[in-house]
Chain A
Amino acid sequence: DIQVTQSPSFLSASVGDRVSITCRATRPISNFLAWYQQKPGKAPELLIYGASYLQNGVPARFSGSGSGTEFTLTISRLQPEDFATYYCQQLHTYPWTLGQGTKVEI
């Protein structure tokens, strides 16, 4: 199975900060990587697909980059509503696998 590992697991930041989360896959996955945001008690929501494409309706302060085995989610200027947990997911090879999550806290 392809494992995906996120770092860091926790991230402490302030409103207005630029933050980055890394996702590494154990084998190349081209750009079949998605990023999701999950707030407490809510279902995850798609932010980025194909490693770098912004889902409709997602603010432009979110961006994704990378290909192969290393990927990054960047939030350019953190807003209060961005404090949440973020997950990456590989969709290249079964079984689909998700990272362990990165909690972005104040």
Chain B
Amino acid sequence: VQLVQSGAEVRKPGSSVKVSCKVSGGTFSSFPISWVRQAPGQGLEWMGRIIPLLAKPKYEKKFQDRVTISADLSSNTTYLEINSLTSDDTAVFYCAREGGGAIFGAFDPWGQGTQVTVSS
């Protein structure tokens, strides 16, 4: 299984960005995909997840007002959209597949990461 993310983005404050994560080489629909944020020099923060077949995302409270996670079964791709960007949103965003019961839900594999820079 491989997760391939879209390329780096630069956005102005107040705008939005949509990052993609394409899953290849494995079952897409039934394994949850999570999104994780890493601000510069900081740790990892879980943002939310989606089970593509159910298309019902779950969000961490601090992100739920400005973030939308979606999935497209036809292209085996999940998306992370962030609205009303501020400089605090400058970060690397990772997608990761939750491995299911066999590995106690751990995240494996991960995408390569997408750098989002918010600057005027």
Contact = CB atoms under 8 A, between A and B. Distances in A.
Contacts of A100: 43
Interface residues on chain A, size class? 20 to 34
A102 to B, nearest CB: 10
Contacts of B110: 43-45
B34 A43 contact: no
A53 B108 CA distance: 14
Contact of B94 (A44, A55, A94, A97): A44
Contact of A101 (B44, B105, B109): B44
Interface in A32-52: 32-34, 36, 38, 43-46, 49-51
A101 B110 CA distance: 17
Nearest to B98: A91
Contact of B103 (A38, A55, A87): A55
B44 A98 contact: yes
B46 A96 contact: yes
A94 B104 contact: no
A21 to B, nearest CB: 14
A44 to B, nearest CB: 6
A96 B110 CA distance: 16
Nearest to A99: B43
A89 B106 contact: yes
A42 B82 CA distance: 22
25 contacts: A32-B105, A34-B105, A36-B44, A43-B110, A44-B96, A44-B107, A46-B103, A46-B106, A46-B109, A49-B103, A49-B104, A49-B106, A49-B108, A50-B103, A50-B104, A55-B108, A87-B43, A89-B46, A89-B107, A95-B46, A96-B46, A96-B49, A97-B46, A98-B43, A99-B43
Interface of A: 31-34, 36, 38, 43-46, 49-51, 53, 55, 87, 89, 91, 94-101
